[in-house]
Amino acid sequence: MGFMNLFKHFLGDDWGVHPDDHKRPAADQPVRVMPVPARLYLPLQQHLGGPARPIVLVGQKVKKGELIAEAQGMVSAPIHAPTSGTVAAVTEITAPHPSGLTLPAIILDADGADEWIELHGCDDPFALDPAEIGKRVASAGVVGLGGAAFPSAVKLIGASKAKVTTLVMNGGECEPYLSCDDRLMRDAAAGIVDGIRIMLHATGAKVALVGIEDNKPEAIVAMQAAAAGFDSVQIRPVPARYPMGSEKQLIQVLTGIEVPADGRPADIGVIVHNVGTALALRTAVRDGKPLISRLVTVNGNCASQPGNIEVRVGTLAEEVIAFAGGLKGDGLGLARRVMGGPMMGMQIPHWRVPVVKGTSGILAFDTVEVAEQEPNPCIRCGSCVKACPMGLLPLEMSSRIRNEAYGEAIDLGLKDCIACGCCAYVCPSKIPLVQYFVHAKGELAAQDRAKLRGDATKKLALQRQERLEREAREKAEANAKRKAEREAAAAAKAAAEAAAKAETQGESA
Amino acid sequence: MNTAALTAQPVASPHAHGGNSVTRTMFRVQMALVPATLYGFWLFGWPAFFLWLLTILSCLGFEALSLKMMGVTRIKATLFDGSALLTGWLLAMTLPPWAPWWVAVVGGFIAIVIGKQVFGGVGQNVFNPAMVARVALLVSFPVPLTMWVSPLPLTSLAAPDFIDGLRIFLTSLPQPDAMASASLLGYTKTELSRGIDLLHSLAGDHAPVLSWIGARSGSFGESASLLILGGGLYLIGVGIISWHTPAAVLAGLAIPAAIGHSVDPTHYLSVSAHLLSGAAMLGAFFIATDYVTSPNTVSGQIVFGLGIGLMTWVIRTYGGYPEGMAFAVLLMNALTPVIDRFIKPRVLGRDRKGKPLDIPETKEA
């Protein structure tokens, strides 16, 4: 493998980057379970799609696992109380987002009892109808735990309809610093494999390929042992390389098939799920427990005790860090706060931001790690071209975007960009390339929205004009008709009168 | 567009960086040039050292002046990113080792002001600045630019000492005939034009085999072909350049040379003579691989390199000048935007033309 990598590197067939993974020592520490904090902050949108709709009132008492906000729309997920307690407020809190904008959330005061509602598990999920599994997963609020947080049930049901044949399990965890999936695979391999088998049953896929990067040998061994009895679950070590965990890249490495640019994995008979999601799905189906906690990696040079912590959803990052041993020197030298991984995660303005279902890491970086520097001019070295896993030309795209030539940027493949950050990672001039692409995508989306609005207004105006014309025409027609009728009536009357006159005349004659 | 959004503190990912920088890249290229440069100092003595120093200083000076005139605020950062220094260094490598002081100053002016800053500074120039200066000097001042000196190693008695070296450098007195010599390519060209074929002209003192150890007359930094090759291999090893461009340049030069030489050895120089004399190695590893003026894609770089090699061979063999590397590089620089326009990497999930791949009809496990 090492030789092949070197050979491929020599040939230039070497997409992606090989960042220093910084996974240890955090990955080797045993998981610590954080006690329930006094107050939990639960954003209504912790997933892709429509936000959930709160169904509790302020002051209402809820039990652990009780539904507090229901899914709304086709793509959405419900939210459950992570512990028993009282709803303190339904209000706006700082969102886990670089903007620092607010987001509606339910605030829950824990009562300390941590008392479950009545659970409806299932002893034999394989006897269940696939549609029933989808329903249970949906009602448990399970979303993709890799970071994108796409509602899992939507994917499962879609896959079952599309008749997929292969389930690709993402155990790559290619983001540096993160080790929560690694830890799960080491500690709960049997549960993950069981979850994968339930997924196979729910989707109708024949085989599950579990891709695990070869920098996690312990996880590979544990998963191989757990999957030993099952032919349908194959553990496939893959080379450690970022972004191996990206959907299209992992599918290509494991199945050899490329997902068409305008298609989805289901189009080629593949569905991708994260290993952590498999475990959450198993818990949801077998135990009837909704998704209310997750494993979070606390890491970065400023973290005094890096490691993985099991955290209730809604816990503030501040409290997670405090539980993990705080920051070195009380945060002296802290340069950047990040939620998620360093490559695709989000910078957050302060630590009073809650852990949501998709939060895989809380990272406290110092100035050395962030390596902040004013960008220099592009020297066209082509590092970004070599690094881009999609085969794009980041330097050309960014120069077009700088000139506001968004159309040309699209022609160069802006819409194929997966924002993985490889280009900016290798750029010797430290140009924030992803920033350019995000900016351009936002600008284009705004243009599209403006165009839609314009089109809608135009359509309405046209319709109004048509309606007015039609009304005028109808009015004129009605008038003409009435006039004709009046005239006809008058003529008839005249004729009748004339006839009557003639008759009387005739009679008189 | 709200430009503040682009220049403000980046909030988009990634939050980590690989640690590469322009300065580091330039520094490594300079490191790769050190052995050949030191060898050049030893071979050609103090005048070569003064030439090297002044060329670099004049490039840095004109860079600073241009930046100041354009009102650039970060003069220091731009000046010390190493790009102007590298331009000067590379230009010095291509000059005759005993060229007078004003060649260094005029060369620095042409390279930096006309070759680079007029286009908008680092990253914007179409042509390789060092090659622009080299060609402009050669065309404008043919006499001092073709004045080759025989190797006079510093350890030999005839070598000028520090003071003599300075005098040679500053006064630009005509060199004594005993010291003047011709480069291999120039010599063979002259002899061929006199009707003496290669088999006779290359006997004795002018045997190409001397090129292997580099003890021959020629430009200051071109002599030690093997040291330059070593520096180039170092750059490939540390990933500053890929092997595609140099390999393509050398192949583009070697293939026609091999064919010509096998057809008629009396009129066509051998492959080794072509590869080891003149600027072949320097051009292949250090000039053609210039990031700014070469294509971005691997396939583009191969086309670019082959073009340079072939053009060099054509100019050397049929052109009026004995050496053609600089002309060939400039010609292919001009074609770089065209190459980049037509040769693009294939996007994942799309075919070469950019159409999305077809969705397969049948799905099998």
Which of A344, A334, A331, A290 shows the shortest CA–CA distance to A146?
Answer: A344
Q: Which residue has the higher pLDDT, B222 or A111?
A: A111
Selecting from B6, B20, B296 the residue whose C-beta is nearest the C-beta of A426 gives: B20
In B262-291, the residues whose Cβ lies within 8 Å of chain A are 291
| 8 Å CB contact of A416 and B363 | no
Instruction: Characterise A336 by phi-psi region: left (phi > 0), alpha (psi -120 to 50), beta (else).
Output: beta
A436 touches chain B (CB under 8 A): yes
- CA A442 to each of CA A148, A415, A435, B1, B119: distance values in angstroms, whole numbers, following the listed order: 18, 11, 10, 12, 31
A404 touches chain B (CB under 8 A): yes
Which of A314, A306, A219, A358 shows the shortest CA–CA distance to A31?
Answer: A306
Distance (Å, whole) CA A2 – CA A8: 10
Nearest CA in chain A to B360: A268
For residue B359, the chain A residues in CB contact (below 8 A) are 260, 263, 267-268
Residue owning tokens 């093997």: B226
In tens, the pLDDT along B47-74 reads 899 999 999 999 999 999 999 988 887 7
Selecting from B22, B345, B348 the residue whose C-beta is nearest the C-beta of A379 gives: B22
CA A498, chain centre distance (Å): 86
- Give the mean pLDDT of A12-39: 89
In tens, the pLDDT along A101-140 reads 889 999 999 999 999 999 998 999 999 999 999 999 999 9
- Give the mean pLDDT of B30-52: 91
A383 touches chain B (CB under 8 A): yes
| 8 Å CB contact of A385 and B242 | no
Q: Which residue has the higher pLDDT, B79 or A34?
A: A34
Mutate: best of A247, A302, A380, partner B, most B CBs <10 A:
A380
Which of B316, B91, B88 shows the shortest CA–CA distance to B187?
Answer: B316
- Cis, peptide link before residue A243, omega less than 30° from 0: yes
Which residues partner with A169 through β-bridges?
A: A210, A273
In tens, the pLDDT along A478-499 reads 999 988 888 888 888 888 888 8
Mutate: best of A21, A270, A425, partner B, most B CBs <10 A:
A425
Distance (Å, whole) CA A419 – CA A344: 7
What is the model's pLDDT at position A1? 40
Strand bridging mode A270-274 / A166-171: parallel
Q: Give the other-Cβ count within 10 Å of A266's Cβ.
A: 20
Going by pLDDT thresholds of 50, 70 and 90, the confidence category of residue A8 is low
- CA A189 to each of CA A195, A221, A235, A298, B149: distance values in angstroms, whole numbers, following the listed order: 10, 10, 11, 22, 75
What is the model's pLDDT at position B12? 80
In tens, the pLDDT along B138-178 reads 999 988 888 787 777 777 766 777 777 787 777 766 555 54
What is the model's pLDDT at position A9? 57
Distance (Å, whole) CA B227 – CA B43: 13
What tokens does A81 get?
């109380």
| 8 Å CB contact of A259 and B346 | no
What tokens does A119 get?
């659970």
Long-range contacts of B33-36 (CB under 8 A, 24+ apart): B33/B89, B33/B90, B33/B93, B33/B221, B33/B231, B33/B286, B34/B231, B35/B224, B35/B227, B35/B230, B35/B231, B36/B93, B36/B221, B36/B223, B36/B224, B36/B227, B36/B228, B36/B231, B36/B282
Which of A236, A234, A247, A238 shows the shortest CA–CA distance to A207?
Answer: A234
Going by pLDDT thresholds of 50, 70 and 90, the confidence category of residue B3 is very low
**Read out DSSP for B79-140?**
HTTSHHHHHHHHHHHHS-TT--HHHHHHHHHIIIIITTGGGTSTTT-SS-HHHHHHHHHHHH
What proportion of chain A, given as a percentage, has pLDDT over 90?
73
Instruction: State the nearest Cα–Cα gap between B75 and chain A, in angstroms.
Output: 12
Instruction: Characterise B88 by phi-psi region: left (phi > 0), alpha (psi -120 to 50), beta (else).
Output: alpha
| 8 Å CB contact of B363 and A378 | no
| 8 Å CB contact of B12 and A432 | yes
Which residues partner with A297 through β-bridges?
A: A308, A361
| 8 Å CB contact of A343 and B14 | yes
For residue A10, the chain B residues in CB contact (below 8 A) are 243
Selecting from B20, B244, B364 the residue whose C-beta is nearest the C-beta of A165 gives: B364
| 8 Å CB contact of B122 and A379 | yes
- Give the mean pLDDT of B1-25: 69
Instruction: Characterise A331 by phi-psi region: left (phi > 0), alpha (psi -120 to 50), beta (else).
Output: left
Nearby residues of A15 by Cβ (< 8 Å), 6 or more positions away: A241, A249, A387, A388, A389, A391
Which residues partner with A364 through β-bridges?
A: A337
Q: Exposure string (b/e) for A34-52, b if CB count within 10 Å is 16 or more?
A: bebbebbbbbbbbbbbbbb
Lowest mean pLDDT among A176-185, A370-379, A478-487: A370-379
Selecting from B243, B297, B349 the residue whose C-beta is nearest the C-beta of A258 gives: B349
| 8 Å CB contact of B296 and A395 | yes
Strand spans (E) along chain B: 148-149, 180-181
Selecting from B21, B74, B354 the residue whose C-beta is nearest the C-beta of A428 gives: B21
Contact B324, B314 (CB under 8 A): yes
Strand bridging mode A166-171 / A346-347: unpaired
B365 touches chain A (CB under 8 A): yes
The model's pTM: 0.86
| 8 Å CB contact of A380 and B242 | no
Burial of A486 (0-12, 13-18, 19+ CB in 10 A): exposed
Distance (Å, whole) CA A316 – CA A189: 28
Give me chain B's average pLDDT, please: 84
- Give the mean pLDDT of A368-377: 82
- Give the mean pLDDT of B350-360: 83
Selecting from B11, B16, B356 the residue whose C-beta is nearest the C-beta of A19 gives: B16
Phi, psi of A339 (to 5 degrees): -110, 130
Instruction: State the nearest Cα–Cα gap between B57 and chain A, in angstroms.
Output: 22
Which of B96, B103, B114, B113 shows the shortest CA–CA distance to B43?
Answer: B96
| 8 Å CB contact of B348 and A258 | yes
- Cis, peptide link before residue B14, omega less than 30° from 0: yes
Nearest CA in chain A to B78: A376
CB pairs under 8 A between A and B: 183
B177 touches chain A (CB under 8 A): no
In tens, the pLDDT along A285-321 reads 999 999 999 999 999 999 999 999 999 999 999 999 9
A100 touches chain B (CB under 8 A): no
| 8 Å CB contact of B19 and A371 | yes
B358 touches chain A (CB under 8 A): yes
What tokens does B364 get?
């099998």
For residue A252, the chain B residues in CB contact (below 8 A) are 348
What is the model's pLDDT at position B1? 37
| 8 Å CB contact of B347 and A416 | yes
What is the model's pLDDT at position B6? 38
In B83-122, the residues whose Cβ lies within 8 Å of chain A are 83, 121-122
In tens, the pLDDT along A384-410 reads 999 999 999 999 999 999 998 998 999
Selecting from A248, A424, A430 the residue whose C-beta is nearest the C-beta of B349 gives: A248
**Read out DSSP for A365-403?**
EEHHHHT--PPPPP----HHHHH-TT---HHHHHHHHHT
Q: Exposure string (b/e) for A80-106, b if CB count within 10 Å is 16 or more?
A: bbbbbbebeebeebbbbbbeeeebbbb
What is the model's pLDDT at position B170? 78
User: How much of chain B is in helix, strand and coil states, percent to nearest 5?
Assistant: 60, 0, 40
What is the model's pLDDT at position B161? 77
What tokens does B271 get?
């492959």
Phi, psi of A368 (to 5 degrees): -65, -45
Distance (Å, whole) CA B317 – CA B268: 7
Instruction: State the nearest Cα–Cα gap between B324 and chain A, in angstroms.
Output: 25
Instruction: State the nearest Cα–Cα gap between A374 and chain B, in angstroms.
Output: 9
| 8 Å CB contact of A261 and B121 | no
**Read out DSSP for A317-331?**
HHHHHHHTT-BGGGG
| 8 Å CB contact of A434 and B298 | no
Nearby residues of A343 by Cβ (< 8 Å), 6 or more positions away: A19, A175, A176, A242, A243, A420, A421, A422, A425, B13, B14, B15, B16
A312 touches chain B (CB under 8 A): no
